[in-house]
Structure 1
Amino acid sequence: MKIHYLVTSLENGGAEFAIPSIVQSLQRHGCEVKVIACEPRDMKAAPKLEAAKIPYEVMFDSRQNVFTYTKAYLKRVKADRPDVIWTSLSGATMVGQLVGKLAHIPVVSWKHSAAVRIYTQIFRKLSQLWIADSAVVEEFLHQTMRIPKKDILSWPLYYCDTQHTKTNFWDGKRTLRIGSMGRLREQKNYVVLIEAIDTLLKNRPDLQ
């Protein structure tokens, strides 16, 4: 099976950094996978693809609009037709869905967060299969985006790197340190984390 793995960009992000592991898993099952990015951004995910010997291409060297991406990718598909278009992130998902519809190619789409853009909601039926990267996202796809459970597959992307030194569990006595890293955007749901910390400190002021 030939798969085009279409992603919005190769920037420094969780969805992009998971690509090598996902593609290698597909390759182990006999799939031929080509990663195609609509735009570059910071390209910090590219070295991971190169290290894993995964072929990739970037359609444009700067940000364009969805119509330009769609036209270029449709041309790309006509020259090298895949059996499946596999999309990741909102922008690439819309491009893949439109091209899949025009070229009669089935589309598989990742959902990486429990938030949805308006156009993703509108075009949701253009993907034949949705893949949730967590149980929370799986529930979001079904309850909020109204996608039938038969059209949803859960593929959790979290894994523990056992090569790094493990820290000791909190003993209930020493200072409790909680850390998080991510963009200050609504889909990261930092409001819940802040409210949880506030509740924790109100109930356990000795932890401050």
Structure 2
Amino acid sequence: MRILYLINGLNGGGAAFPVPELIATAQRHGDTVKVVALMPQDRRAAERFDRAGLAWSLIGSGPADILPSFGKLLALLRKERPDFIWTSLSRACVYGQIAGRLLGIPVLSWQHNAFLKPGNRLLLRLTGRWAARWVADSEAVATFTREALGVAPELIDIWPIFRARSDAPQAVACAAAGRFRIGSLGRLHPNKRYEDLIDAAAWLRDQHPAAARRLEILIGGEGPEAAALAARIERLGLDNVRLMGFIDQPAAFLASLHGYVQPSHHEGMCIAAHEAMQAALPVVATPVGELRRSVADGQTGFIVPVGDPPALAKALLALTDDRTRAAQMGLASRERVIERFGAAAFDRSGYAVLDKMAPIVAAQRPR
């Protein structure tokens, strides 16, 4: 099948990050895929696409470019006439679903998060009925897609967008006298609740100063909350919390840590936390998205409530104080994530999705 994969933009993280892995599975299935982006964003995904040898193009200039980019999409679809449109994230899903309806091209739509802004939720409830099928990146997101978007369960498949690698670099256990490094990767956005992590560090400093001196917290990423988070760190006088900026080698960064933390308010699959598990790190996370299933509390890390800095601090303290147990949890994390999301499971899920699109495409072809 010939597929046009429509994505929101070329950001270096989020839903654009796993696109090369997804397309590689489609290619192994015997399909051809062209990627089309609606917005340039930070363009870091373009470098990743080029390294993977993907065919891609950019048809829009930014968030305000609505009608012109939609017009370009229609022209491109009329010219290339793919067998189906694959869409990812709200804007691309809405554009693709409308275009598919107008041109009689089947649409397969991703849902990546167990949360949508009210406006996006309303739009997708209206246009989502024009998608032939939906793909959720986790069980949690499949539930959200049914409940929030009104999609029939039989139209939803689950394809976790994380493909675990058994050859990924592994973290090394922290020495007894060393500084315990806990990190996080994510967009500096209110949804990630990094302010809770900073407040947890302040709580530890005040309640357990000796332990706090043995702990270093590194937050990798860029985003609209960068200045506010930096100001919070400075205001609280924390010398063991650092904002690292964009991390262009996430595997190496994760392998340099001794633990990982994800204090988010909402998530879907949360690739970064699963990559941390792949790197043999114990993970402290909130029970959101797929994390509530992937992180086994007390075995591969700890689950803490959303918006509870003292509980978060106590979980970090537990890792710092018992480094042998932390390392054992990390190894259990790695084993769990490779078993659940290894290469064979990834391809098997993808093939199932594509196999269900084949008869839909065949029914649309002229007889």
**Counterparts of 2:32 and 2:315 in 1: how far apart (Å)?**
54
Aligned partner of 2:243 in structure 1 is none
Structure 2 residue matching 1:147: 3-state secondary structure? coil
Structure 2 length-normalised TM? 0.50
TM superposition shift of 1:102 = 0.3
Q: How does 1:109-124 map to 2 (within 5 A)?
A: 109-116=109-116, 117-118=120-121, 119-124=123-128
Aligned to 1:91: 91
One-letter amino acid of the counterpart of residue 5, structure 2: Y
> What secondary structure sits across from 1:87 in the alignment?
strand
Matching residue within 145, 159, 164 for 1:160: 164
For these two proteins, the number of residue pairs brought into alignment is 208
Q: Give the counterpart letter for 1:167 in structure 2.
A: A
1:19 corresponds in structure 2 to 19
Provide the secondary structure at the position in 2 that maps to 1:142.
helix
Cα–Cα, structure 1 residues 52 and 165, in superposed 2: closer, same or farther, change >3 Å?
closer
* Structure-1 separation of matches of 2:186 and 2:63: 22
- SS of aligned partner of 2:157: strand
Aligned CA distance change for structure 1 residues 196 and 139 (closer, same or farther; 3 Å)? farther
Deviation of 1:179 after TM superposition, in Å, equals 3.3
Question: How far is 1:63 from its partner?
Answer: 4.4
Q: Mean alpha-carbon deviation: is it higher for 121-130 or for 191-200?
A: 191-200
Q: Does 1:76 align with 2:108?
A: no
CA contact (8 A) 1:69 1:95 kept: no
Counterpart CA distance in 1 for 2:33 and 2:317 is 53
Contact 1:113 1:187 in 2 (8 A): no
Structure 1 range deviating more: 57-66 or 21-30: 57-66
Between the aligned partners of 1:204 and 1:26, the Cα distance in structure 2 is: 40
Alignment RMSD (CA, Å): 2.9
Unaligned runs of 5+ in 1: none
Structure 1 residues 106 and 186, CA gap change in structure 2 (3 angstroms) = farther
State the 1:177 CA deviation.
Answer: 5.8
| Change beyond 3 A, Cα 1:205–1:66 | same
State which of 307, 310, 317 in structure 2 corresponds to 1:195: 307
Measured against aligned partners, the alpha-carbon deviations of 1:171-194 in whole angstroms (never above 9, x if no partner) come to xxx987653322344655724465
- Offset from partner CA, 1:26-72 (integer Å, 9 cap, x none): 11111111111112122111122112211111113444433222211
Q: How does 1:59-70 map to 2 (within 5 A)?
A: 59-70=59-70
TM-score, scaled to structure 1: 0.85
